[in-house]
Structure formats: C-alpha cells, structure tokens
Amino acid sequence: MTDTLLEVRNLRIDGTVRPPGERPKDINIVEGVSLTLAPGRVMGLIGESGAGKSTVGLSTLRYGRGGLRLSGEIWLNGRNIQTISPGQLRDLRGREVTYVSQSAAASFNPSIRLMDQVIEATVLHRIMSRSEAQKRAVELFGALSLPEPESIGSRYPHQVSGGQLQRVMTAMALCPKPDLIVFDEPTTALDVTTQIDVLAAIKTAIRHTGVAALYITHDLAVVAQVSDEILVLRHGKMVEHGAVQQIIEAPREEYTRALVSAHSIPHEEQAATDNPILRLEDITASYEGKIQVLTDVTAEIHPGQTLAVVGESGSGKSTLARVVTGLLPPERGRVLFDDQPLPPALADRSLEQLRELQMIYQMADVAMNPRQTVATIIGRPLEMYFGIRGAEKRRRVIELLDQIEMGESFIDRYPAELSGGQKQRVCIARSLAAKPRMIICDEVTSALDPLVANGILKLLLNLQADEGVAYMFITHDLATVEAISDSIAVMYQGRLVRYGPKSEVLTPPFDDYTDLLLSSVPELRLGWLEGVVQNRKMESAGY
C-alpha cells in the first residue's frame, strides 16, 4: 500500500502558563514535527517526559490539553483537519480517530456502565445500530481476552481491575472501526506481569482489525514489540525516525543510541563474604496486628555489595525497608547489623546506629524539606553526627556536591530549583554525608526518565566502589536489578520466593513466580512478545 492515512507537516504546539501573580508566559511545547503513516501501520512515539509525545498524539484529534494551540498541517484521509468546522471535527473524533489513555480508571465515567461507554461513539456516529454495536463490543471483549465477555459490559468501572479496564478502553477505541488509534502509554501504570497480557491483547487486536496506530511510550522495549516504525522525540523536536529494526539495531543519532543502551550497565557480581553487614532473621510483620505483610523473611547483605529486593506492588518490599529502619518493629524475627542485634523500634536505636544505616526515597521531591536549601539539607547530618559546623561544614558540603557531580553552584538553591535527577543526587549526598555503611534505596530510579535513572545508577555504583557502602536496593524494575545487584531477593505476597547470588537467581530452573516475572520484562528485540505468548500458551496446554 502506498497511500497515506495521516500526514503531519511541520507541527508546532504552544501553550500559555499562568503563574499566580505574574504575567502569563507563552511556551513552546513541540516544534517542527512531521510524520506520515500509511493505513494499518503502527508508529511508536518515544521520548522522555516532557518530550511532547502525548501532545503530538492528541494533535491527530486536533485536541490540545489545557488550551494548547496547534499550528502546522495535519492531513487525515486527504483533508487538513486544521481547517475543518467544529461539526466536522466532532464527526472525526470517535469515528476516524480514537484514543486510549494511560489511566483507564480515570478515563471512564464512574457512574455509567462500561457497555454504554464502549459503544457510545459507535452509536453516536451512526456506524452501527445499538444492538450491533453491543454485539461487536462483546466480540472485542472476547478478542481482548477479558473474562466473561458477555456480561463484563454491565459492570461499572470500579468493579473491574486496572489491567482489565485498560483492555476495555482498547475495545472502546476499536468499536467504531476507526482508521487510527492513539495509544497513550496504555501499559505504563500496570504491574509488569499484567502489562504483558494487555500488550499482547492490544497487539493482536491491532493486527486483526488492520487499524493504524500511534503508540506512545517512554519504554523502548515495549514500543519495539508493537510498532512497525519508531519516531524518537526530545524536548518537542524530532530526533530520529526509522523502522523498528533500524532504530534498535543501528540507531543513527547519539540520543537514540543512549536510549537503546540505557539498561546495559556492566556490573560484575561479587562473592558473598563471611561477615554480612546486615542480616534479617525470620522477619514477620503486620500493620496494626491485622494484615500480615511479611512472612519469615531471611536475607543477608554483605559489606560493599548490593542486595536487590524485587517484587510487584503489594509484595511487601517497601515494608521490609520499614522494618530494617525501625519504623515498623517486626512481630517476630530480628535484624542484625554487623552481628549486633538492632533494637526493633527506631526510638531505641543509638545515634551511631542511625548514622550507619541511611535511606534514599523514591520521590526526591517530598524527601527534602522545600523550605531548606541544599546547604542545610546536606549539612544537617554533618552537624548532627560529627558536630561539623560553619566554614568546615560548607567545605564538606561542597565536597559532597562534587562527589555527586553537581558542584558548588547548587549549594544555596532550594529543592524546587533542581531537576528531578539533581534532587535525587542531593538526597544521595545527604545520606553519604553520614558516612553510612549501608543505604536503603527505595525505588530511587523509578520516578526518573531512563537516561537520568541510568546516571543515578552509575553514580551509586561509583560511590559503592569508592566508599565501600552496601545497598539494599528495592525495585520493581528487573532491568535495574541486573545492572546493580550482587544478590537478589524476589518477593511475592510478603514472602521470599527466591533468594541468592544474582547469577543463581537469574539462571533456570525457575520457580513459577520468578519465571513469570522474568519472562514478563520486555526485552529490546523483535519478536520477544510473540515468543513469550507462544511459550505460555504451550505451557498452559501442557507441553
């Protein structure tokens, strides 16, 4: 096919920000983006947060969130949709182009049954009669492997799980037989084992119906599974465009190369020592004596090494950190630090014990007091633990800032004046200031863009090499685990399902859960998704 479904020429998107008490300012979001898409093709739009991916995606519906202004030409089915009337535009939306958002849970009207919402556009645009549309919806529910396709439509949004809702939203987008669907990070909010099901369902549905799609995501491995071609965006501008294979195997631009190699940090596993710095013995814990969240967890961390604690949301991995820090005294079991038992409750620990065990949080934004400067934030541990004050303190803070590759110029800034990656670096410096022997890192990279996260990981590894500090690294991201850990603990429903040195944990034979978890992590190669789905089908068929 040589004809064109969508052609965007020189798209520019501007917005206006209105800071309270100041004059409104115009800012440019996207500039000079052009793309063409043939019918039935899938294009992946990839980039960091703020790259303008969603904005470009929504422009194909001539929709600007929060009053964004579009300029340039957007040709769809042979006409420039920038010039059509509001009535024609409404006719286009929901008929020719449909949209699947990141958060299906928020995108469904809470007080209307799913079926009525799924067929709303189809019936509105008189594509089918009501009963035909309902029949089609049920077929789509089945094709997207939703449970009870006949009756799921009669439920309300809150009665359906997040992964299912995302598939219902895909059915809603497919129902009016559109020419183009915009998928806006449809699997980002899901757990990794749920993501793969939704991803497979979306891919099958796209292939069966022959609809064209724009697939927006920040995850290169995900987009490689579903797209024919990829467009890389950065700061609202195009970086590179090409076929999937070319982008992942032979990227031309430096930025694309960095994205492709983002996860490949080499890290040699170190052997366990005889004297673990931290030892957890049969930890069992619960909240208010009711809900048991940890059961019999035993693990060790060795000096200068990293234990990665991996699991999905609700697996109890963050609770484990709370037990170690003393915020949640365990019901049973004990925590040994350097062979000495730590008092279970925070209040009973000595200043020295607190100093040796530091913590870094997921959201650097809220881990720093917005009213304190970097100098106060990093300087406070120096003052508390070592009694360092005045000029000496300032000198040490500058040293620490150099260590986290930021430098003296940041010393008098407030957290709000730092970027996401810089904030996390300041938090790292704050914990380093205490000269700890172990740091708990709770999802420290998961709120960051891949390249920024990569920088943080490299910094953590360098600091480990220099200072010999041990890490307890809590994460849901298995790619990060490979990059940083020496040993791994896999958690599921509050229990340790697999534990040992990295090489052992990541080598078959696997237990069922670890297998599921590992096989669900998207890999950056073509045909990965099909392979996994095929494997699982065979397994469930009993081969």
- Contact set with other proteins (CB under 8 A): 18-21, 61, 63, 65, 89-95, 98-99, 101, 103, 106-112, 117, 120-121, 124-125, 155-156, 158-159, 325-327, 346, 349, 351, 354-355, 358-359, 361, 363, 366-371, 380-381, 384, 414, 416-417, 430, 434
β-partners of residue 332 are 284
Shortest approach of other proteins to residue 369 CB, angstroms? 5
Shortest approach of other proteins to residue 243 CB, angstroms? 29
Look up tokens 């420290």; give the residue.
444
Q: Which is nearer to other proteins, 21 or 266 (CB)?
A: 21
Rounded to whole angstroms, what are the CA distances from 301 to 23, 207, 471? 54, 47, 8
C-alpha 479/C-alpha 310 separation (Å) is: 11
β-partners of residue 299 are 280
Q: Which is nearer to other proteins, 240 or 442 (CB)?
A: 442
Q: Which is nearer to other proteins, 283 or 433 (CB)?
A: 433
Q: DSSP string spanning 288-356?
A: TTTEEEEEEEEEEE-TT-EEEEE--TTSSHHHHHHHHHTSS--SEEEEEETTEEPPSSGGGS-HHHHHH
Shortest approach of other proteins to residue 130 CB, angstroms? 15
Shortest approach of other proteins to residue 476 CB, angstroms? 18
Pairing type for strands 438-442 and 357-360 reads: parallel
Q: Which residues of 23-34 are buried (b: 16+ CB within 10 A; e: fewer)?
A: eeeeeebbbebe
Q: Which is nearer to other proteins, 51 or 61 (CB)?
A: 61
Shortest approach of other proteins to residue 381 CB, angstroms? 6
Shortest approach of other proteins to residue 456 CB, angstroms? 17
Q: Which is nearer to other proteins, 42 or 100 (CB)?
A: 100
Residues 6+ apart with CB under 8 A from 277: 301, 302, 303, 337, 338, 437, 438, 470
C-alpha 408/C-alpha 375 separation (Å) is: 10
Shortest approach of other proteins to residue 344 CB, angstroms? 15
Shortest approach of other proteins to residue 386 CB, angstroms? 13
Shortest approach of other proteins to residue 101 CB, angstroms? 6
Tally of CA atoms within 13 A in the half-sphere of 3 that contains its CB: 7
Shortest approach of other proteins to residue 124 CB, angstroms? 7
Q: Residue 478: enclosing H or E segment and its boundaries?
A: helix 478-484
Q: Which is nearer to other proteins, 248 or 460 (CB)?
A: 460
C-alpha 401/C-alpha 490 separation (Å) is: 34
Rounded-to-10 torsion of CA 95, 101, 104, 106: -100
Q: Which is nearer to other proteins, 260 or 285 (CB)?
A: 285
CB atoms within 10 A of CB 414: 15
Shortest approach of other proteins to residue 125 CB, angstroms? 7
Shortest approach of other proteins to residue 435 CB, angstroms? 13
Q: Which is nearer to other proteins, 49 or 159 (CB)?
A: 159
CB atoms within 10 A of CB 223: 26
C-alpha 422/C-alpha 410 separation (Å) is: 10
C-alpha 375/C-alpha 409 separation (Å) is: 11
Please give the structure tokens belonging to residue 269: 């596993």
- Give which of 62, 523, 33, 3 is closest to 212, Cα–Cα: 3
Q: Which is nearer to other proteins, 99 or 492 (CB)?
A: 99
Shortest approach of other proteins to residue 425 CB, angstroms? 15
Q: Residue 14: enclosing H or E segment and its boundaries?
A: strand 6-17
Q: Which is nearer to other proteins, 102 or 403 (CB)?
A: 102
Q: Which is nearer to other proteins, 41 or 93 (CB)?
A: 93
C-alpha 81/C-alpha 494 separation (Å) is: 53
Q: Which is nearer to other proteins, 172 or 481 (CB)?
A: 172
Q: DSSP string spanning 182-214?
A: EEESTTTTS-HHHHHHHHHHHHHHHHHHT-EEE
Residues 6+ apart with CB under 8 A from 445: 424, 453, 456, 457, 475, 477, 480
Q: Which is nearer to other proteins, 354 or 460 (CB)?
A: 354
